[in-house]
Chain A
């Protein structure tokens, strides 16, 4: 048996973090959460993560900055990006970084789950 994949969830909004957390947990994933970019980077340097879900609105850095830093550290780790931005800028910037999936808030948790499960198949 393989160890269950570890997902890093980065979101400063507790409510949406909780929703995703419980949905992912019920699918049997291991989850680690961070509310700040620096926290996420620190975790990444010493842990092996199969998936990352990153919200663009973080307290200590712009989501897009975090995405590019992660790309530098681990270019192949699949990223799902969520955002409350309605201007479209966040979506374009995130997609440019080469992410797996983008979901604007309020998103459908089922979509995010299906993308993760499909990609781990």
Chain B
């Protein structure tokens, strides 16, 4: 727990001195400002936790001060000081986001009580957010559970590498859980208290990726209107996860390599290098050997990033995990929707087992969510599974087109009903893309 910074904004000097001396004895770092302009200047330089603001001041009105302080630092908590506790001023202040107000003259003990209340609330709220975050992460990480020797080996490596800082490179097809593995490493490492910052290098336009990674200074290039920290600085004392790293332009791969060698970044437009303390985990869904030989991924960068190399097996190579994962997904869905689905019929399980799962665990999860939504009863049966699973080896047109069309139409209708007309959700249930469902809705005139 760090020291708290408090700013006192009051035009009366004796009140400023009184409060500064009084509050300093509680080990707060206290600064003062005689008007709104000085206050705003100070807030720009220091991250204050609390500002105590006199509502009646000549140069800039207290209400205006609160508004501009909040605009500069939205996390600052405000206590309003007022000579006359009129309902109007108090309401105006609270409306602007002040946490509390005190009537002058006030005793230091009273101010201290209000401050510690606010700080306690703030701490609880922050704890709550981080708890929610951890719960969310941990729930997902459970999905790494596995009976297959290959995945057990990976789990062992995760535990082993967690407590050193070696860069880890994860290779695996889409949907095999690369980000989950990266999170598992981060959350079981000494850096778990620090941030885990993921980025999909393939999802950001090339001209913005450099400043996304390393930050930029205001005015560094056309349109850089404000400073940007960048991901490496956001991930300070934590882990950065560079997903789809092979999609990064070659010149950026060179820059990244230099950053990793020097452990320093240079924000775009800045001459001053900044030291970084970040663990790097990267991943690709391409076959690494091919990406290297085609020079999509630079050799020098790859060797730097792959001190530990993990190759996640596709689901078809760890079929023993299908029942385990399926039951896990059913259990989570039961909890989420307060239902009591017991599992799958033997025939349905056989189908799940023999399908090749090109979309891996993610596809399995989508299929199960869809089946869960469409069925009512104890056990999920074959007819609840999408037709694609039933004819896995023959995606050909030799089937009768009309009946397939009808089945598809019916399935889409059912999914739309189940998703209460939400198309994206229906697409998820069916395990198909958003664009596809839009097209199909048009084709079958299901609007």
Contacts and interface: CB of A to CB of B under 8 A. Distances in A.
B439 interface: yes
Contacts of A115: 204-205, 208
Nearest to A3: B438
B165 interface: no
Given A65-B129, A107-B226, A108-B225, A57 B74 contact: yes
A91 B234 contact: yes
Interface in A70-121: 71-72, 74, 78, 83-93, 95-98, 100-108, 110-111, 114-115, 118-119
Contacts of A33: none
A101 B212 contact: yes
B134 to A, nearest CB: 11
B197 A110 contact: no
Contact of A48 (B129, B425, B439): B425
B422 A86 contact: no
A68 B226 contact: no
Contacts of A7: none
B435 to A, nearest CB: 6
A53 B422 CA distance: 20
Interface in B43-98: 44, 47, 71-75
A118 to B, nearest CB: 4
Contacts of B212: 101
B259 to A, nearest CB: 17
A52 interface: no
Interface in B219-236: 223-229, 231, 233-235
A84 B71 contact: yes
Q: How many residues of B sit at the interface, in one of the four size bands?
A: 35 or more
Nearest to A83: B74
A1 B435 CA distance: 10
A96 B197 contact: yes
Nearest to A59: B97
A91 B226 CA distance: 13
B272 interface: no
Contacts of A104: 226-228
Interface of B: 44, 47, 71-75, 125, 129, 132-133, 136, 195-198, 200, 203-205, 207-208, 212, 223-229, 231, 233-235, 420-425, 434-435, 438-439, 442
Interface of A: 1-3, 46-50, 56-57, 62, 64-65, 68, 71-72, 74, 78, 83-93, 95-98, 100-108, 110-111, 114-115, 118-119
26 contacts: A2-B435, A46-B422, A47-B422, A48-B434, A49-B424, A50-B424, A72-B136, A78-B203, A83-B74, A84-B71, A85-B73, A85-B74, A86-B72, A87-B47, A87-B73, A92-B234, A93-B129, A95-B231, A96-B195, A96-B197, A97-B133, A104-B228, A108-B225, A111-B223, A115-B205, A115-B208
Given A102-B228, A107-B225, 18 more contacts: A48-B422, A48-B425, A50-B424, A68-B132, A84-B71, A87-B73, A89-B75, A90-B75, A92-B234, A93-B129, A96-B196, A100-B203, A103-B228, A106-B225, A106-B226, A108-B224, A111-B208, A114-B208
